[in-house]
Structure 1
Amino acid sequence: MNLKITSHHVEITPAMRSHLEDKLARVLSHFDQVQTVSAILAINNEKEKELRNHAEITIHLKGKDIFAEAHHADMYHAMDLVVDKLDRQIIKHKEKVQNHHHQTIKNT
């Protein structure tokens, strides 16, 4: 897995990087055909404090891209939320791929 982390108005600390890598390892254990992962972490100048920290992740799979984003007052919670969203999307995609290959058309 190639992980590319981009930041906007925030410095990526080693703790943030390791936290994101640990969370993504759980997601990637469900589906092993991941080519690259792109993450963007930003602090926006929103008036509502709950929406200031913004995390978005794009996972590039073979033939499909999966995208999720989340906002929270804390950057670590925003990363957790976006990884949870990606986890649900990866599981759904995996079920679709597996069910598609096992369907047969029977003519009677």
Structure 2
Amino acid sequence: MQILVTFKNVDSSGYLKTYLEEKLTRLEKIMPHPGTADVVFQEEKLRKIVDVNLNGKGFEVHAKEESGAWNEAIDLVVDKAKKQLIRNKEKIQSHRVDTSLIGEPTA
């Protein structure tokens, strides 16, 4: 997965990038196809805001969370994105046609 990280009003930190990459690589198992992740770290007064956009073939997920600490905000936003990916995957699977129910054509 290709991850693009942007910092707004925040000093770029290697720790935040590595922690985020650890969490996002776990989502690759759920994704139907590898995609890209656009992540924005933003700080407004005492609020730490993490905004994640996951894009790929057949799916698009947007999650945004805020908290008092970066680790907590990252955990919350990854959990939210994971729920959306699972919901999307289940929806796709429920729309597939079961071929065993279709009989052979008679000529």
Alignment TM-score, normalising by the size of structure 1: 0.83
Q: Residue 14 and residue 103 in structure 1: after superposition, are their counterparts in 2 closer, same or farther (change >3 A)?
A: same
Q: How does 1:1-108 map to 2 (within 5 A)?
A: 1-45=1-45, 49=46, 52-102=47-97
Rounded Cα–Cα distance in structure 2 between residues aligned with 1:57 and 1:95? 21
Residues 42 and 48 in structure 2, CA contact (< 8 A), matched pair in contact too: yes
1:28 CA drift (Å)? 1.6
Residues 34 and 59 in structure 1, CA contact (< 8 A), matched pair in contact too: no
Secondary structure in 2 matching 1:59: strand
Secondary structure in 2 matching 1:15: helix
Secondary structure in 1 matching 2:50: strand
Residues 69 and 82 in structure 1, CA contact (< 8 A), matched pair in contact too: yes
1:87 CA drift (Å)? 0.6
Secondary structure in 1 matching 2:38: strand
Gaps spanning 5+ residues in structure 1: where? none
1:103 CA drift (Å)? 5.2
- Answer with 1 or 2: which has the greater Rg: 2
Residues 64 and 77 in structure 2, CA contact (< 8 A), matched pair in contact too: yes
Give the superposed CA RMSD. Answer: 1.8
Alignment TM-score, normalising by the size of structure 2: 0.84
Letter in 2 for 1:44: E
Rounded Cα–Cα distance in structure 2 between residues aligned with 1:6 and 1:103? 44
Gaps spanning 5+ residues in structure 2: where? 103-107
Letter in 2 for 1:86: A
1:91 CA drift (Å)? 0.7
| Percent of pairs with identical residues | 28
Count of residue pairs brought into register by the alignment:
101
